[in-house]
Amino acid sequence: MRTIGIVIKRNNTKALEVGVSLSSWLGKQGIKTVFSQELSRGIPGSQAMELAEIPRHADVIVVLGGDGTLLSVARLVNSYDVPILGVNLGSLGFLTAITLDELYTVMADILENRFQVSERMMLAARVHRQGKTISSYAVLNDLVINKGALARIIELETTIDQGYLTTFKADGLIISTPTGSTGYSLSAGGPIVYPTLDSIIVSPICPHMLTNRPLLVPPEAQIETILASEGGDVSLTLDGQIGFTLQQYDRISVTRAEHTIKLIISPTTTYFEVLRTKLKWGERYA
């Protein structure tokens, strides 16, 4: 282990303080650090690099923040085989499951290559318009096709492996990985899927027909949906962070991404403990 990348949540004073302390601690261990521009404010005379360049130079990336910060890093890591350690500075997260109290203990193990990873599949999404691919994205959680607040119900003609599935008449559609199953998909009635399983979840948002229920398909499935309805404000959102405006007859294709993401897991907290903590899963209510 020679180089550790550090990425902090933007405009977060606590993340900045922890990042500076961690960089100093790693330096004393003889480890080089590379970090984003935000962190350079706390380290006088330092030279930071663009966020997109960090995965190219780091053996491990430490993310100080929340799940949203980790999602943004995951899209950048994409084609690099770099494990990510997510450190949550607030409440326990689904992705950033390491607490601040155990940070240095876990880091000491990482420097000795004593750690385990949870390998997560990603999705590759492409938008096609008039026969041309106009944009492509990699996502770790989900992609969402959603209508604007004042738009009518939209129609999404959907196929799987070129076979017609249905035309969803709904407020939108969520296509999710198992990692993202505890996010927006869960709110739309989708199942909780163990994050290391390989599968894709298709969940309509407020469907007009009660018979349109969430569907779990194999990871090799090729999903395509066409925005069949005209007019209205319809957007494609990726991991809840990137937005793209859709037009009538735009075709969105979704397949399993070529690369996976490796998340370093907590040595003390299991996935089911996170479920119980975040979702109060399994608890009875009076």
pLDDT in tens, 10-63: 888 898 899 999 999 998 999 989 888 777 776 765 667 888 889 999 999 999
Q: Please give the CATH architecture assigned to the domain spanning 122-258.
A: Sandwich (2.60)
Q: Please give the CATH architecture assigned to the domain spanning 3-116+265-279.
A: 3-Layer(aba) Sandwich (3.40)
Q: What is the pLDDT of residue 280?
A: 78
> Please, where in the chain does CATH 2.60.200.30 lie?
122-258
With residues binned 3-state (H G I as helix, E B as strand, rest as coil), the percentages for the chain, rounded to 5, are 25, 35, 40
- Per the rule left: phi > 0, alpha: psi between -120 and 50, beta: everything else, 62 is beta
Between CA 16 and CA 86 the distance in angstroms is 15
Q: What is the mean pLDDT of residues 135-151?
A: 89
- Residues tagged active-site: 67
Q: How far is CA 167 from CA 30, 248, 255, in A?
A: 58, 14, 19
Residue 286 pLDDT more than 60?
Answer: no
196 burial via Cβ count (<10 Å: 0-12, 13-18, 19+): middle
* Contact indicator for 256, 123 with CB cutoff of 8 Å: yes
Which residue would you say has higher pLDDT here, 95 or 83? 83
> Please, where in the chain does CATH 3.40.50.10330 lie?
3-116+265-279
Q: What are phi and psi of 119, to 5 degrees?
A: -90, 125
